[in-house]
Amino acid sequence: MTHQRAVLTDKQRETLEFLRDYERRTGQAPTIKELREGLGLSSLRSVTQRLEALERKGFIKRDPFRHRSITVLDHINPFSPAGTIQIPVIASAGADAAQVYAQEQYGEYLTVDKEMVGDRKEIVAIRAIGNSMVDAGIKNGDYVLVEVGGNVEDGDLVVALLGDMAVVKRVQFTKDAVILNPDSKSGAYQPIVMQDDSKIFGKVVRTISVQPDKEEITYEPI
């Protein structure tokens, strides 16, 4: 079962930070129009979608009877006393994840509940491309949280590097080879046998599923 957690997309985090900064500078909340202009968005609906997501997650509340109706709540995180942590998104599967990770050139972060990663130390996020892992609950556009260098066993979901390119697959250890298997009944995807220039980057510990129709994120434990 999928459970909603206090996970902010990059856009939602940007909106929350704008709200906090605006309130510090002016002593009041912005209007929807001021939010649209400040965030550089093309439509008011884009603003309200972000606000709806932040309100569902408990980071703000709105009063429909007030003009400047947005109140940023003061607590760190309504879901967990442990608070939140920012996870760098190092790449999309199929992109040059190794270079980005090595150079720490992170352009995006996910703000997630600390309970999602526990006491694991080195966690990064990668966005899945394609549907080769759909039967493992990983769809195109979803994020996976990866424990870099985590202990990997046969059958685990992993991120592997083929050269510098990242792929999300289910690993199989045999006597003669390490095989990266898709998890899809479609038959459109083939196993990959790891070569000398390949290595396992880390173990997938969470799947973060993006709901594109309402800019919402949920997660599944692995």
Catalytic annotation, residues: 132, 169
Give the DSSP per-residue string, 24-54.
Answer: HHHSSPPPHHHHHHHHT-S-HHHHHHHHHHH
User: Encoding tokens for residue 185?
Assistant: 């009944």
What is the spatial distance between Cα 154 and Cα 98, in angstroms, rounded to a whole number? 23
Collect all residues with Cβ–Cβ distance below 8 Å to 95 and sequence separation of at least 6: 165, 166
Cα torsion angle, 162, 178, 150, 141, sign? positive
Are 88 and 123 in contact by the 8 Å Cβ rule? The answer is no
3-state percent helix, strand, coil for the chain, nearest multiple of 5: 25, 35, 45
